Amino acid sequence: MRQKLYMMAATVALVMATGRAVADFSALARIVDSECVPNEQVNGKPSPCAAVDLGGRYAILKDLVGASQFLLIASTPEPGIEGTDLEGHSAPNYFEEAWKSRHFMDDQLGRALPRDVVGLAINSIAGRTQNRFHIHIDCVRADVLQQLKADAGSIGTSWTAIPGSLVGHPYRAMRVEAANLSEINPFALLAADLPQGDDRMGDQSLVAIASAMPDGSDGFYLLTDHVGATPGDMGSGEELLDHSCEVLK
């Protein structure tokens, strides 16, 4: 029964009596709130999640899509990238927790993944299927990594449009020269760059991709796209990830 519920969440659709598929935007929230958190509190076992951090206010769940994709899901009613509490100093550092949770990918694949093939992505309101905050953790598309390497010289420490589009969409990027995200709040960095008076965070996507910096040190590229940047663009940063992990092959 538990696995059946999880599969329903992964496909994110319920077939109604009319025969139409209707998105179930609360599926992840139900799994975390009704199963993972109570099981961790009562039994110390977060099943069907891989982990629950009660203090950090998140759970880690294996997505059925892909061999190694995991989701960091808020265990509080945080809707998504538009959440008003994500940019403050007291907000949980969800991106850093997602980054540290990449070891679940290693466990799933039975090998240690290179640092610079891992990406973290959160979609816009229009580009997501769930109304509970979640970050996708998975491999990055090989062509995206190649494009970022080619554009590395033009990506600085403030947001700028990258010369080449990614997956056909015009992303902006900045580099973060740090080995981890413990002192970095990508949400605050993105919000600060929106035009004054523009609070449409819900229209943005946000992605962090680990990479070596031009001087060889460890760092990250932060990338953002927004709904309507090009016709049909839904602001889905997840498109930069590859759930088949071809980059490892």
Separation CA 137–CA 122 (nearest Å): 9
Could you give the dihedral angle defined by the CA atoms of residues 141, 146, 147 and 148, in that order, rounded to the nearest 10 degrees? Answer: 90
Q: What is the pLDDT of residues 18-67, one digit of tens each?
A: 233 446 899 999 999 999 999 999 999 999 999 999 999 999 999 989 99
Domain 2-248 CATH superfamily: HIT family -  CDH-like (3.30.428.30)
Q: What is the pLDDT of residues 128-175, one digit of tens each?
A: 999 999 999 999 999 999 999 999 999 999 999 998 889 999 999 999
In this prediction, residue 5 has a pLDDT band, given cuts at 50, 70 and 90, of very low
Q: What percent of the chain has pLDDT over 70?
A: 89
Half-sphere exposure of 233 (CA within 13 A, CB side): 20
Separation CA 123–CA 132 (nearest Å): 11
- Domain range summary for the chain, segments of one domain joined by +: 2-248
Q: What is the pLDDT of residues 168-224, one digit of tens each?
A: 999 999 999 999 999 999 999 999 998 765 568 999 999 999 999 988 999 999 999
* pTM score: 0.90
Contact (CB, 8 A) for 176 and 184: yes
C-alpha triplet 210, 51, 145: angle, nearest 5°? 15
